[in-house]
Amino acid sequence: METEVKDTTDAIDDQKTLLKLPVRRMDGSDTGELLELDPRLFGLPKNDHVLYLAVKAELANRRQGTHSSRTRSMVRGGGAKPWRQKGRGAARAGTLRSPIWRGGGITFGPQPHDHKMKLPLKVKKFARKVALSLKAQTGAILLVEDFDIEQPKTRVIASMLNSFEAAGQSALILVDCYKPSVMKSCRNIPRLEIREALTASTYDILRARRLILSRSAVETLTGGLIGEE
């Protein structure tokens, strides 16, 4: 499977003015600062095919592949011929395990196998860039100065979602690194997920209606996805 990945940086120079988002505090107040997002990460045009490949690969890799049905060789019984070949006026039959009989084997039924689908690293990184760009261009990204939580408090995150008018919606919080207090504060809120910035997949980003990023998470994404290019 070959997927052509083109550098579209030159085509988005005119969109730089659209990539400045306000930075807020957790209580919803505005810090008065506008953070300019890198257009190489948040300004790419939509690419349905690469998004399709990334989501298809992740969902396929989640499958256990343990589905199984019995073929005629696995069904118990059927060692003797049910009736004589001729003289009964009925169709000939050789075994009770025949797929055309009730209780017999299954023809071409599912068998355990591996569903894994492997994508090139470049395609996976490009898909995440396109997903982030799509969220930025549709106004689904919210920037938070920092998640300053010393002790796990679910009501702090719930209050933040209310101030951002994101309560009850599917939301994804991206942080720069593992933060136990923030992780524990989010785990009891329905439809809210939290990920480390570089571990969030294309599917995680696309399925969330609101994407809440800390300033440090933006820097981590920028350095991790385009820093080596």
Confidence check: pLDDT of 17 > 80: no
CATH 3.40.1370.10 range(s) for the chain read 9-63+117-225
- Do the beta carbons of residue 209 and residue 191 sit within 8 Å? no
Residue 31, classed as helix, strand or coil, is strand
Q: What is the pLDDT of residue 147?
A: 86
Q: What is the CATH number of domain 9-63+117-225?
A: 3.40.1370.10
What phi and psi, each to the nearest 5 degrees, are found at residue 36?
Answer: -85, 120
Residue of 108, 144, 117 lying closest to 53 (CA atoms): 117
Confidence check: pLDDT of 10 > 50: no
Alpha carbon distance 206, 54 (integer Å): 11
pLDDT in tens, 106-135: 999 999 999 999 999 999 999 999 999 999
What phi and psi, each to the nearest 5 degrees, are found at residue 189?
Answer: -100, 120
